[in-house]
Amino acid sequence: MSDNDNTPLAADLLQGADAIAAWTGFKRRTIYHSVAAGHLPTFRMGDIICARQSTLTKWIEQQERAAA
């Protein structure tokens, strides 16, 4: 989702560890551990862990480039 993208935020937003886990394919426990360790680009809305799919996609691409 870019500045010029008309995609609604709701379509890009993952709300909760379960949603992030389902989208990434990791277990919920792994998501909690990665968030606590500061390894995933997430933010909180109150007690809810949230992430943008677009941000996670960019982050994964950066991780791939760094590993190459």
- Phi, psi for 5 (deg, rounded to 5): -80, 135
Quick: pLDDT tens for 1-37. Answer: 445 566 788 899 999 999 999 999 999 999 999 999 9
Does residue 34 fall inside a structural domain?
Answer: yes
Does residue 6 fall inside a structural domain?
Answer: no
**Total domains, the chain:** 1
Does residue 1 fall inside a structural domain?
Answer: no
Does residue 36 fall inside a structural domain?
Answer: yes
Q: What is the pLDDT of residue 5?
A: 66
In this prediction the pTM is 0.84
In order, the DSSP letters of 28-45 are HHHHHHHHHTT-S--EEE
Domain that holds residue 57: 11-67
How far apart CA 62 and CA 17 sit, in angstroms, is 22
Structure tokens at 23: 């989208």
Q: What is the pLDDT of residue 1?
A: 46
